[in-house]
Structure 1
Amino acid sequence: MKISKRLIKIIGSITICAGSMFMLSGCGDVQNFALNMRQSTFGLPLTIATYDFEGQKIDQIKTNKAYIHTDDNMSQKSSNGDEQSSVIDIDYGKNRSIHVGSTLLAWEGIKNYTDIYNHNHVNVNTKNENDKSIPFVNRFYNNFKNSWGGNGTVVFIKSHSGAPIGAFYGKHVSIHKTKVKNATDFVIDGHRLFCYRCDYTTYPVHVLKSMAQNQKVDTHKSAPKVSTK
């Protein structure tokens, strides 16, 4: 019995050390595996928000330990073993919320720049902010380019109507399949972003910079000439 406990401790120590080495290596797949294991075992310190069709935030909770997974009672598998049910459980502390249908985002250790943008532009009524000919991502980039620097990737998340609800920046971004139907996992600089029933697009920061610069050139060319006579 003593030998068995000792072996368990040794195996556990080796596993932890190996996991730490892989995490430091920056491998997205290994980081994703480690985050999944941590979430299912201990839970992750997640911010969880749901949104309506137009992108309006419905609710938001912050918890130190959360685990999001398919509801066991509603789970249905296809003949290929793929999950057919979109009903998910959100376990946090001693609580459980059951969710299906509307868009849901969950993240930890990273900023949602869309929340920051919306908060800073509540009462803004300038020409550039209302000009529909200027792409939203260009305006967004111009607001946060100093925070992001010249490298990395930005993940833009949209509601089903196309309304922006999330923007997350990282130097190392990877995308992963998840067991939850209609959901996608991201690993952003070693942190988790979970997207349920979302549209998304990823942009390298240098592409956003180029788009913003090209927009300025196009706007300048199309500006009407004003006579000074």
Structure 2
Amino acid sequence: MKKKVKLLVTFIMGLMLLAGCQSIGNFFKSTQEQFLGLNGTIRTFDENSQVIDKITGKSISIESDDRFDITDVNGNVSKESSVLDITVGGNQVIHVGSTLIFSENGLTDYMEKYADSVDIYSDNRSLPFVNRFFNEIKNNVSGESKLILVRSQTGTPLATYFGNRVSTFAPDGIPNTTYLLVDGKRLIIYRADFTIYDTDLLK
């Protein structure tokens, strides 16, 4: 009996270690996206960092459209396609070029949430933007230790997310794209810059 209990405890501890590993979490999240899709929101942005469209749906999957891969004379892929083939609940969206952000349900874009109450585009240069933004909303953030700032390719802030466990991954076969795992939730950034800060640095 004691041996069975020890085996059970060892098994549970092993599962906990696996669950705590971001790489394992990313594998399962990618598998979920591939076979079941993820529930969340897709936004694209124009060159002035304004939102072009916003699609919220279920069973969302994002892949590279390999019809646009460039191949050499031997048929080997020399440059992978930057065209995104997006499925939203059985419907299709083809996207290329402009910045795109996908956030799984459970993630909050604090820049969007507090856009009406926080002076995001202040002319005051005495305090950097990230520090100022964090100081204005920190009472509304439940103790997360990481801040993710997503910026356009021209440097304009687009979105801000918070989390405790944040990891980045390069998706296989999708250029110009970064996959993040934020406390177990998927964040996908296409054609945009981003920085991850320890919030202790911003106080």
**TM-score (ref. length: structure 2):** 0.83
Residues 85-136 of structure 1 show CA distances to partners (whole Å, capped at 9, x for unaligned) of: 1001110112101000000000112101110132324xx69xx933133211
Tell me which protein shows more strand as a share of its residues.
2
2:39 to 27, 45, 49: 45
What is aligned with 2:107? Answer: 110
SS in 2 for 1:65: strand
SS in 1 for 2:100: strand
What is aligned with 2:140? Answer: 147
Off by >4 Å, runs of 4+ in structure 1: 77-83
Larger mean CA deviation between 149-158 and 198-207 belongs to 149-158
1:163 to 156, 163, 169: 156
Tell me which protein shows more helix as a share of its residues.
1
Query: Are residue 87 (structure 1) and residue 80 (structure 2) matched?
Result: no
Conservation of the 8 A alpha-carbon contact between 2:152 and 2:193:
yes
SS in 1 for 2:115: helix
The within-5 A match list for 1:52-201 is 52-76=46-70, 84-108=80-104, 109-121=106-118, 129-148=122-141, 151-179=144-172, 180-201=174-195
SS in 2 for 1:119: coil
Conservation of the 8 A alpha-carbon contact between 1:49 and 1:58:
yes
Conservation of the 8 A alpha-carbon contact between 1:23 and 1:31:
no
Residues 154-202 of structure 1 show CA distances to partners (whole Å, capped at 9, x for unaligned) of: 1100001111111110011111111210000000000000000010111
Change in 2 beyond 3 A, CA 1:189/1:88: same
Count of equivalent residues: 188
Give RMSD over aligned pairs.
Answer: 2.7
**Identical pairs, percent:** 36
Conservation of the 8 A alpha-carbon contact between 1:83 and 1:181:
no
Conservation of the 8 A alpha-carbon contact between 1:39 and 1:66:
yes
Q: Which runs of 5+ in 1 are unaligned?
A: 1-16, 210-229
Distance 1:156 1:82 in 2: 32
Residues 59-101 of structure 1 show CA distances to partners (whole Å, capped at 9, x for unaligned) of: 1110011000001322346898675210011101121010000
